[in-house]
């Protein structure tokens, strides 16, 4: 390939500092080193985590190219890479799966020692980067940095997918949909016939609703203060719809009443709001209720009465839906291609990378579910 082994000049959306709009810049992308893959990014989405970092992130995490939900094509590979070749369709991953560390060998976790998160989760990026702009190093967000026409990622964090997969759909499996869906089917372990409640109906929450439905739940409460989201929740399988602002008592009490005093079997919190995390736990059935925290925040502490747990509830967290990323994402792609999971219905807006600040504004104002941004042709 004409670009292999050379520095590529291309366009990327750079966040020079917190809270400032992203700037389209020409950057230089170095060739992949040992064990790395350089990818031409075709499509990318915007996640709340990108927004959190931009608005509230640690200053040491700047300047940075954001983006961690994408799909693309291998442009070239570095020394030691044998499982990937130019032209392969891939999805970059913000988690790693080296397959050799104690975490990868443990069926209970999807953490990996080789991940950036193991050491640098405060700044959300590795200190070394393959990006430079006007002589300055630009960090790569979550090891992925997909707001760029080209990016470089360690092979431990790249999933090779079906050659027929539509990249403008399956990019969603890089973060949001996998996260929500897996929280239901893996972490919560939703069972057939059960009663579930999903708090927060963005892409992650809707994916959780889809997961509850696929797991055979008999009743799925969709909870959000924005009722415009109820229609889409129904599409994904929700059976009941609750706006906490429509009640003068806590939503957990409403849910307990609506389930004949028992509480739901599974609750999944997808907002990142600690008050909602508490409500989700308190909505669960005494004795066996399971509540899963999916929404992310490092700003506030969560608080609950220990008696909730002593009376038999379980509280857990879920990262990337509990999926072993390299093993699972290709399977989820095939599930989409065979109609088992929905992806099209999550996409509400289409833009190109130059319009990234518009996409950010849509997310800030709660409009739409997922915006797809075309990055490269």
The binder of another protein chosen from 1, 55, 106, 235 (CB under 8 A): 106
For residue 116, what are its two tokens?
A: 């950036």
Task: Closer to another protein by CB, 148 or 179: give it.
Answer: 179
Site for another protein in 259-278 (CB under 8 A): 262, 274, 277
Contact between 192 and another protein per CB under 8 A: no
Please report whether residue 23 would count as binding another protein according to CB under 8 A: no
For residue 229, give the DSSP letter: G
Give me the least distance between CB of 298 and another protein, in Å please.
Answer: 5
CA dist., res. 74 & res. 105, Å (int): 27
Q: Which of 79, 192, 306, 339 binds another protein (CB under 8 A)?
A: 306
Closer Cβ to another protein, 76 or 115, answer by number: 115
| 13 sits in which H/E element | strand 8-15
Nearest partner of 139 among 130, 151, 148, judged by Cα = 130
**CB of 152 closer than 8 Å to CB of 29:** yes
In angstroms, what is the minimal distance from the CB of 109 to another protein?
4
* Under rule CB under 8 A, residue 199 binds another protein: no
The rounded distance, in Å, linking the Cα atoms of 362 and 45 is 12
Q: At closest approach, how far in Å is the CB of 300 from another protein? A: 8
User: How is 57-109 classified by DSSP, letter by letter?
Assistant: --GGG-SEE----EEEEEEEE-TT--S--TT-EEEE-SS---SSSTTTT-TT-
Contact characters 111-150, another protein, x per CB under 8 A = x---------------------------------------
> Among 357, 355, 360, 342, which Cα is nearest to 169's?
342
Instruction: Tell me whether residue 111 or residue 165 sits nearer to another protein (CB atom).
Output: 111
**Does residue 310 belong to the site contacting another protein (CB under 8 A)?**
yes
- Cβ proximity to another protein: between 11 and 286 the closer is 286
Structural contact between residues 203 and 172, judged by C-beta atoms closer than 8 angstroms: yes
User: Nearer to another protein by C-beta: 12 or 125?
Assistant: 125
Kindly state whether residue 377 participates in binding another protein, applying the rule CB under 8 A: no
Dihedral sign, Cα of residue 183, residue 121, residue 346, residue 255 = positive
Out of 314, 348, 357, 374, point to the residue binding another protein (CB under 8 A).
314
Size of the site for another protein (CB under 8 A): 40
Selected binder of another protein within 68, 169, 313, 326 (CB under 8 A): 313
Give least dist CB 48 to another protein, A.
Answer: 14
In the complex, the smallest distance separating the C-beta of residue 287 from another protein, rounded to whole angstroms, is 3
Residue with tokens 């693309």: 72
Q: How far is the CB of 315 from another protein (least distance, A)?
A: 4
Q: Which stretch binds another protein (CB under 8 A): 82-90, 124-132, 212-220, 283-291?
A: 283-291
Nearer to another protein, 170 or 294 (CB): 294
Check binding of 16 to another protein (CB under 8 A): no
Residue 219 burial (C-beta neighbours within 10 Å; 0-12, 13-18, 19+): middle
* Interaction of residue 300 with another protein, rule CB under 8 A: yes
Burial of 287 from C-beta contacts in 10 A (0-12 / 13-18 / 19+): exposed
Should residue 207 be labelled a site residue for another protein when binding is judged by CB under 8 A? no
C-alpha distance across the termini of the chain, in Å: 17
Work out whether 52 is an interface residue with another protein (CB under 8 A).
Answer: no
What whole-number distance in Å separates Cα of residue 295 and Cα of residue 309?
20
Select from 243, 244, 256, 242 the least CA-distant residue to 195.
256
What are the C-alpha distances in Å from 237 to residues 10, 189, 230? 42, 17, 11
Q: Which residues bind another protein (CB under 8 A)?
A: 102-103, 106, 108-111, 262, 274, 277, 286-288, 293-298, 300-319, 322
């Amino acid at each position: 390939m004409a670009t292999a082994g050379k520095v590529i000049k291309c366009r990327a959306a750079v966040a020079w500092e917190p809270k400032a709009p992203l700037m389209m810049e020409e950057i230089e992308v170095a060739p992949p080193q040992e064990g790395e893959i350089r990818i031409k990014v075709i499509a990318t989405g915007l996640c709340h985590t990108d927004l959190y970092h931009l608005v509230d992130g640690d200053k040491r995490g700047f300047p940075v190219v954001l983006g961690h939900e994408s799909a693309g094509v291998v442009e070239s590979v570095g020394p030691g890479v044998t499982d990937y070749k130019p032209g392969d369709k891939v999805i970059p991953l913000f988690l790693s799966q080296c397959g050799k560390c104690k975490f990868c060998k443990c069926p209970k976790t999807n953490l990996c020692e080789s991940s950036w998160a193991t050491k640098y989760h405060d700044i959300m990026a590795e200190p070394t980067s393959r990006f430079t702009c006007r002589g300055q190093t630009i960090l790569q967000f979550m090891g992925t940095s997909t707001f760029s026409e080209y990016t470089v990622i360690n092979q431990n964090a790249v999933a090779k997918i079906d050659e027929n997969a539509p990249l403008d759909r399956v990019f969603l499996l890089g973060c949001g949909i996998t996260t929500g869906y897996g929280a239901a089917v893996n972490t919560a372990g939703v069972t057939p016939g059960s009663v579930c409640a999903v708090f927060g109906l963005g892409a992650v929450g809707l994916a959780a609703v889809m997961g509850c439905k696929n797991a055979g739940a008999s009743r799925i409460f969709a909870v959000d203060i924005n009722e415009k989201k109820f229609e889409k929740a129904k599409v994904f399988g929700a059976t009941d719809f609750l706006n906490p602002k429509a009640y003068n008592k806590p939503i957990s009490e409403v849910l307990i009443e609506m389930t004949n005093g028992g509480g739901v079997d599974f609750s999944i919190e997808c907002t990142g709001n600690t008050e909602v995390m508490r409500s989700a736990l308190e909505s669960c059935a005494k004795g066996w209720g399971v509540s899963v925290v999916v929404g992310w925040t490092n700003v506030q502490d969560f608080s609950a009465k220990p008696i909730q747990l002593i009376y038999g509830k379980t509280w857990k967290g879920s990262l990337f839906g509990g999926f072993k990323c390299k093993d699972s994402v290709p399977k989820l792609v095939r599930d989409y291609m065979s109609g088992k999971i929905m992806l099209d219905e999550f996409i509400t807006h289409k833009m190109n990378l130059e319009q990234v600040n518009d996409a950010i504004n849509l997310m800030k104002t709660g409009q739409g579910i997922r915006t797809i941004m075309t990055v490269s042709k």
